[in-house]
Amino acid sequence: MKRKSLPKKFAMLERRLGRELLSQRLLRQASHWARVSHQGEGAFKLQKYIPIDDLALLGLTLTGLRGRAQRNIHAHEVVEQTWELPRLPRAFDGFRLLQLTDLHIDIDVVLAETIAAKVRATPHDACVITGDYRNSTDDDYSPSMRLMAPILEAIHEQRWGILGNHDFIEQVWSLEAAGLPILLNDASAITRGDEQLWIAGVDDQHFYGTADFAAARRDVPADACCILLCHSPEFHADAKQHDYDLMLSGHTHAGQLCLPGGHHVICPVKDLSREFIRGRWQSGNLQGYTSRGTGACGIPARLNCPPEITIHILRCGKAV
C-alpha cells in the first residue's frame, strides 16, 4: 500500500523525529489525554476528579498566603553551578551556559518581561530551554508563543530548546520561526576555533514517550563533550548509558508549593528519588542538574521554592 504523503510542515517533523515517534506524539495529542488527565503521577492523577489547582488557590487564600505566593513567581534567583567536565575542550573553560525551564509563560502576562529583565542582567555565552513553554495542555498554545518574544530577544543568539510534556509538536514551527532551534532527538555543536562543545536534546519521554537517547548522540563524535537536555530527570538511567557528560532537566518545579525549608509535598513524577527532584545529582558517571523551574505551573504561585535562572559554568577537569 502506498504511504500517504504528509503536509509539508509535518513532513519536516517526520524527517527529524521519525514517522513512528511523530505518529505516537500526534495520536496522544489528538486523543486529548491532556484534557482529561493531569500529566502527573500519584496525587496528580486526582486531577481527573478534583480540581487540585483550584483547591491549592483556595488553601493559599484561606491561609492568607495567596498574595505572597503570587508575588514569588517574579522573585527569581540566579543560581550558579560549576561543573568539571573531563572532555571539555580548553576553548570552553569558563563557558557560561544559561538554563531556563518550565516557563509556562502564559500563566502570568507580565512574567516574560520579568524573566527577560533578569536574563539581560545575567552574562552568558549560550542558552538552553528545557521544555514546557505553556501552562495548559489543551488550550491554544499561540498566546504562549507570542509571550516568548521578550525572552528570545534577551537570551544569547546561540540557543537551543527542547519540548516538554506540556508542549505540542506543532509548537516547533512557532519557536523556530521566532529563532529558537528545537532539538528533536538530535544535537548541535558550538564552535570555538577548532574545538566544539555539543548540545543534544531528546523529545519528551515523561508523557509522550518519544525520546531517543541514542539518536540524539548519533552525530556527535565519540570523544566529544556532550551536554544532554532532557525535560524530566526521571530518565537519568537511560541517559547514562549513552556517554553524555552532563544532563540538564526541569519538570519537577522542586514541588513549587513547599513547606518551610523547601520540602516538597507533591512531585509530578512517580518513584523519583528525592536526590533528583532539585539541584545537582549523580547517576553512575553522569552528572546532572534539575532546575526548580523558571515559571510556575497550574497556578501562578510559589511557596518556599523560588523560581530560578541557572548559569552552568563549565570547567576542564575531573568529574566531581
Assigned domain for 1 exists:
no
* Residues 269-278: tens digit of each pLDDT: 777 888 899 9
Q: What is the pLDDT of residue 85?
A: 97
Any domain includes 172: yes
CATH number at residue 28: 3.60.21.10
pLDDT digits (tens, 9 = 90+) for 280-298: 999 999 999 999 999 999 8
In a domain, 2, yes or no: no
Tell me how far apart the alpha carbons of residues 75 and 87 are, in angstroms, rounded to a whole number. 36
**How would you classify residue 185: left for phi > 0, otherwise alpha for psi between -120 and 50, otherwise beta?**
left
Q: What is the percentage of the chain residues whose pLDDT exceeds 90?
A: 69
The range of the structural domain enclosing residue 17 comes to 8-316
The verdict on residue 179 lying in a domain is: yes
166 falls within a domain: yes
- The residue that leads in pLDDT, 167 or 45, is 167
Q: Is residue 3 part of a domain?
A: no
What is the model's pLDDT at position 51? 63
> For the whole model, what pTM was predicted?
0.90
How many structural domains is the chain composed of? 1
pLDDT band at 32 (very low <50, low <70, confident <90, very high): very low
Looking up cell 525535560 gives 231
The answer to whether position 228 is within a domain reads: yes
Tell me how far apart the alpha carbons of residues 210 and 21 are, in angstroms, rounded to a whole number.
Answer: 6
Determine the distance from the C-alpha atom of residue 206 to the mean position of all C-alpha atoms in its chain, rounded to a whole number.
12
- What percentage of the chain reaches a pLDDT higher than 70? 89
pLDDT band per the 50, 70, 90 thresholds, residue 239:
very high
Q: Is residue 127 part of a domain?
A: yes
